[in-house]
Amino acid sequence: MKKYILALDQGTTSSRAILFNKFGEIVAQKKKEFPQIFKENGYVEHNPNDIWSSLLTAAREVLLSKNLDAGDISSIGITNQRETTIIWDKETGEPVYNAIVWQCRRTSDYCKELVKNGYSEMIKEKTGLIIDPYFSATKIKWILDNVSGVRERAKSGRLLFGTVDSYIIWKLTEGRVHATDYSNASRTMLFNINTLEWDDDILKLLGIPKSMLPKVCESSDDYGYTKLIGKGKIKICGVAGDQQASLFGQTCFNKGDFKCTYGTGAFLLMNTGSEPVISQNGLLTTIAWSVDGKIAYASEGSVFAAGAAVQWLRDGIKIIDSAAESEPLALSVPDTNGVYFVPAFVGLGAPYWNSDARGVLCGLSRGTTKEHIARSALEAIAYQVNAVIEVMEADSGIKINTLKVDGGACENNFLMQFQSDITDCEVLRPMCIETTALGCAYLAGLKSGYWKSMNDIKNNQKIDYKFTPDIPETKRTALLSGWEKAVERTTL
Please tell me whether residue 482 binds ligand ADP under the rule CB under 6 A: no
Q: Which residues contact residue 422 at a Cβ distance below 8 angstroms, ignoring those fewer than 6 apart?
A: 379, 382, 383, 386, 476, 479, 480
Residue 32, SS3 per DSSP: strand
Exactly one of 224, 282, 338, 408 binds ligand ADP (CB under 6 A); that residue is: 408
The 3-state secondary structure of 303-353 reads: ECCCHHHHHHHHHHCCCCCCHHHHHHHHHCCCCCCCCEEECCECEECCCCC
Judged by CB under 6 A, the stretch of 136-144, 195-203, 354-362, 402-410 that binds ligand ADP is 402-410
Instruction: Give the binding-site size for ligand ADP (rule: CB under 6 A).
Output: 15
Exactly one of 311, 402, 461, 491 binds ligand ADP (CB under 6 A); that residue is: 311
- Yes or no: say if 362 and 327 are a contact pair by the CB < 8 Å rule: no
Q: Which is nearer to ligand ADP, 223 or 414 (CB)?
A: 414
Judged by CB under 6 A, the stretch of 137-145, 172-180, 408-416, 480-488 that binds ligand ADP is 408-416
CA atoms of 116 and 331, how far apart (whole Å):
49
Q: Is the dihedral of CA 447, 453, 459, 464 positive or negative?
A: positive
Please tell me whether residue 81 binds ligand ADP under the rule CB under 6 A: no
Task: Give min distance, CB of 264 to ligand ADP, in A.
Answer: 3
Please tell me whether residue 411 binds ligand ADP under the rule CB under 6 A: yes
Q: Which of residues 325-384 bind ligand ADP (CB under 6 A)?
A: 326-327
Task: Give min distance, CB of 305 to ligand ADP, in A.
Answer: 9
Please tell me whether residue 263 binds ligand ADP under the rule CB under 6 A: yes
CA atoms of 451 and 5, how far apart (whole Å):
10
Residue 136: name the closest of 185, 182, 96 by CA: 185
Q: Which alpha helices (DSSP H) does 188-335 contain, by range?
A: 200-206, 242-249, 307-311, 326-331
Task: Give min distance, CB of 315 to ligand ADP, in A.
Answer: 9
Strands 225-226 and 14-20: unpaired
Please tell me whether residue 26 binds ligand ADP under the rule CB under 6 A: no
Please tell me whether residue 323 binds ligand ADP under the rule CB under 6 A: yes
Phi, psi for residue 74 in degrees, rounded to 5: -70, -45
Judged by CB under 6 A, the stretch of 65-73, 270-278, 405-413, 479-487 that binds ligand ADP is 405-413
Q: Which is nearer to ligand ADP, 307 or 351 (CB)?
A: 307
Judged by CB under 6 A, the stretch of 169-177, 193-201, 318-326, 476-484 that binds ligand ADP is 318-326
Residue 254 burial (CB count, 10 A): 11
Task: Give min distance, CB of 324 to ligand ADP, in A.
Answer: 4
CA atoms of 340 and 380, how far apart (whole Å):
7
How does 216-240 read in b/e, with b if 16+ C-beta sit within 10 Å? bbbbbbebbbbeebbeeebbbbbbb
Task: Give min distance, CB of 387 to ligand ADP, in A.
Answer: 19
| Helical (H) or strand (E) element with 371 | helix 370-396
Q: Roughly how many angstroms between the first and final C-alpha of the chain, as a whole number?
A: 64
Q: Which is nearer to ligand ADP, 323 or 333 (CB)?
A: 323
Q: Which is nearer to ligand ADP, 78 or 409 (CB)?
A: 409
Please tell me whether residue 222 binds ligand ADP under the rule CB under 6 A: no
Task: Give min distance, CB of 473 to ligand ADP, in A.
Answer: 27
Exactly one of 64, 147, 324, 478 binds ligand ADP (CB under 6 A); that residue is: 324
Contact positions toward ligand ADP, by CB under 6 A?
263-264, 307-308, 310-311, 323-324, 326-327, 407-409, 411-412
